[in-house]
């Protein structure tokens, strides 16, 4: 193991591995922090995001009465929260796939999204278990499936990008 690290350092591959690891770890930290919020704080965070999204999606949202804004936001909250689950795990899958492609340069590209999916989905399971211990929160099977779908989407997008890049560079793998 130590010999392998020394060889990688000499060959110049250690820096790309570390650089691609940073966004993976940052996404995992963000997910962990958001999951650690108690129900009240999580609701406040979601409420702010919902109002922001509604302002973008609904023309003249600011001109609606306060009660109309609240009613509309309440109807949209579920879908926006699920989209947030999907998006944060899609980003995780995207960065995991990139990181794995740097680590395993000799492995065919189709395997990266499989491993990224497995690792990201496992992280989604641990995220839902973590929420079981947070006051007012719960772990949901539905959220685990949404997390896994997000990881899959992000991994497939990155795999597609890697395939395109490898086809445009002469002498690279596909």
pLDDT tens digit string along 34-79? Answer: 999 998 988 888 888 888 888 888 888 888 898 988 888 888 889 9
pLDDT: is 104 or 97 the higher one?
A: 97
pLDDT of residue 104: 82
**Does position 33 have pLDDT exceeding 90, yes or no?**
yes
Give the pLDDT band of residue 173 (cuts 50, 70, 90): low
Query: What global pTM score does this model have?
Result: 0.83
Residue ranges per domain, the chain? 11-36+77-168
**Alpha-carbon gap, residue 114 to 152, rounded angstroms:** 8
Percent of the residues in the chain that have a pLDDT greater than 90, as a whole number: 52
Looking at beta carbons, which pairs linking 10-14 to residues 24 or more positions away fall under 8 Å? Answer: 13/102, 13/105
Kindly report the average pLDDT of the chain as a whole number: 87
Q: Which of 99, 105, 84 is nearest to 30 (CA)?
A: 84
Give the pLDDT band of residue 2 (cuts 50, 70, 90): low
């Amino acid at each position: 193991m130590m010999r392998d690290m020394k060889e990688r350092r000499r060959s110049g591959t250690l820096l790309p591995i570390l650089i691609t690891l940073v966004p993976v770890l940052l996404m995992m930290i963000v997910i962990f922090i958001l999951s650690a919020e108690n129900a009240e704080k999580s609701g406040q965070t979601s409420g702010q995001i919902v109002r922001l999204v509604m302002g973008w999606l609904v023309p003249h949202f600011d001109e609606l009465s306060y009660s109309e804004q609240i009613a509309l936001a309440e109807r949209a909250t579920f879908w926006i929260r699920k989209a947030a689950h999907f998006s944060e795990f899609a980003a995780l899958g995207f960065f995991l796939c990139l990181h794995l492609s740097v680590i395993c340069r000799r492995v065919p590209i189709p395997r990266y999204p499989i491993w990224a999916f497995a690792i990201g989905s496992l992280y989604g399971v641990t995220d839902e278990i973590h929420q079981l211990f947070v006051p007012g929160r719960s772990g949901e099977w539905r959220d685990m499936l949404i997390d896994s779908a997000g990881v899959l989407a992000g991994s497939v997008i990155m795999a597609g990008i890697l395939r395109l890049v490898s086809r445009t560079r002469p002498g690279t793998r596909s």
